[in-house]
């Protein structure tokens, strides 16, 4: 019999460089607070996959992340993609510079070579939508095993997760008119929130996966922007000036946002400095790496990329504001992915930013799970001037 909220044990942890593994220690005199989405819905739900509804367990506490040895699987992958895109599969570009859609491939059945080629394809196309996938129906542990090929699983410090699977980050929005979705716009005019996931970590995510459980009939698309092309569009003098600069990425504001609302903080926040221009280890492409932040942080007037090291406050704010605006308005290097049942979207957090759209007002549920493997520590390679062709 599953324990009730009052009976749930508190968790302590053993530190591992591969994964934080909880050890359950019973402390009956002081049970941790647990909030469950299904209880918020009165104990009944119309969710198609109720086992994946989020829970927020205040007893989950994790130690600081330790460095780990990351292997870039896309670097030496076969560029013919013969193990990823077999005969009968179909790949179609969403836009010239970013985004592809694939049918006729089952990700969960890929061989190690096929997974390596997937890492390369995602690095090249930045985001790839795979249709007719079985991720929602296979056991969670199998989906996580697939994701572990691409790096160590990240456990989000403040998000909800299914019971027993803290590595799954649950994206969930639901409610009839007048509830959560309406209140979302009480203090904002738009849901656009360009961000890269948890860039405040020392080793932020690389290839990342998001798969669908419930989605509105229309609406709730995800937008992606190509940070490589955003870099390429800059003038050569500005590119050269950005090289060598680092920016501070902070998780403190996100943690405080959660604390202020009675939410969980499963690991104490950190901040790290990363180069503003980073290099992708598989493609060698240079990309902007600044993060305006997800919707809850921006709603409180904060960004994840807080400042540029060595610049004065006004200088830093002006340059970051230009870069954020440049990325957000670049519709010619953005792609829009429309969700459909059984869709898995893979993108590379190192060379993209993304934003959800909150554009449906029907109260329909939008429910997804994210697998977030960590990757390399961001690094940059020297600036190389692109010579303009000689006019004759």
Phi, psi of 354 (to 5 degrees): -145, 165
Structure token pair of residue 362: 């029907």
Q: Which of 169, 267, 278, 370 is catalytic?
A: 370
Q: Which of 125, 152, 195, 365 is catalytic?
A: 195
Residue 333 exposure: Cα atoms within 13 Å on the Cβ side: 21
116 counts as catalytic? no
Closest Cα to residue 61, out of 220, 352, 255, 345? 255
Q: Which of 116, 197, 214, 348 is catalytic?
A: 197
Phi, psi of 181 (to 5 degrees): -70, -40
354 counts as catalytic? yes
177/364 Cα distance (integer angstroms): 10
Q: Which of 152, 278, 354, 367 is catalytic?
A: 354
The residues with which 33 forms a beta bridge, in sequence order, are none
In order, the DSSP letters of 27-54 are -TTSPPPEEEHHHHTTT----S-GGGS-
Structure token pair of residue 379: 């690094």
Structure token pair of residue 248: 């501070």
Say what the alpha-carbon torsion angle 181, 185, 187, 193 is, to the nearest 10 degrees.
100
The residues carrying an active-site annotation are: 195, 197, 354, 370
């Amino acid at each position: 019999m599953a324990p009730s909220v009052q009976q749930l044990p508190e968790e302590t942890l053993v530190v591992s460089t591969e994964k934080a593994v909880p050890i359950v220690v019973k402390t009956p005199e002081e049970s941790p607070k647990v909030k469950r989405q299904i209880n918020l819905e009165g104990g009944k739900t119309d969710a198609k996959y109720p086992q994946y509804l989020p829970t927020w367990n205040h007893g989950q506490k994790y130690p600081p992340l330790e460095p780990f040895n990351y292997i870039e699987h896309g670097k030496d992958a076969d560029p013919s993609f013969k193990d990823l895109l077999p005969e009968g599969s179909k790949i179609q570009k969403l836009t010239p510079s970013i985004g592809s859609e694939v049918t006729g491939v089952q990700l969960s059945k890929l061989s190690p070579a096929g997974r390596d080629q997937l890492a390369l394809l995602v690095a090249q196309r930045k985001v790839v939508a795979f249709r007719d996938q079985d991720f929602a129906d296979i056991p969670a542990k199998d989906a996580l095993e697939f994701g572990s090929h691409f790096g160590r699983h990240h456990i989000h410090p403040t998000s909800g997760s299914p019971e027993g699977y803290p590595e799954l980050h649950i994206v969930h929005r639901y409610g009839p008119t007048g509830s959560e979705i309406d209140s979302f716009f009480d203090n904002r005019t738009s849901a656009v929130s360009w961000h890269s996931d948890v860039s405040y970590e020392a080793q932020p995510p690389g290839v990342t996966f998001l798969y669908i459980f419930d989605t509105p009939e229309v609406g709730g698309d995800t937008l992606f922007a190509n940070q490589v092309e955003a870099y390429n569009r800059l003038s050569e003098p500005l590119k050269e000036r950005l090289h060598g600069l680092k920016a501070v990425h902070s998780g403190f504001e996100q943690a405080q946002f959660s604390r202020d609302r009675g939410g969980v903080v499963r690991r104490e926040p950190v901040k790290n400095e990363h180069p503003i221009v980073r290099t992708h280890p598989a493609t060698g492409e240079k990309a902007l790496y600044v993060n305006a932040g997800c919707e809850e942080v921006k709603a409180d007037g904060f960004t994840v990329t807080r400042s540029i090291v060595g610049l004065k406050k006004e200088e830093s704010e002006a340059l970051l504001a230009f870069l954020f605006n440049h990325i957000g308005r670049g519709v010619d290097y953005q792609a829009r992915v429309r969700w459909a049942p059984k869709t898995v979207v893979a993108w590379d957090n190192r060379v993209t930013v993304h934003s959800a759209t909150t554009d449906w007002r029907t109260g329909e549920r939008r429910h997804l799970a994210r697998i977030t493997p960590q990757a390399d520590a961001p690094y940059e390679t020297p600036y190389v001037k692109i010579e303009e062709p000689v006019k004759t």
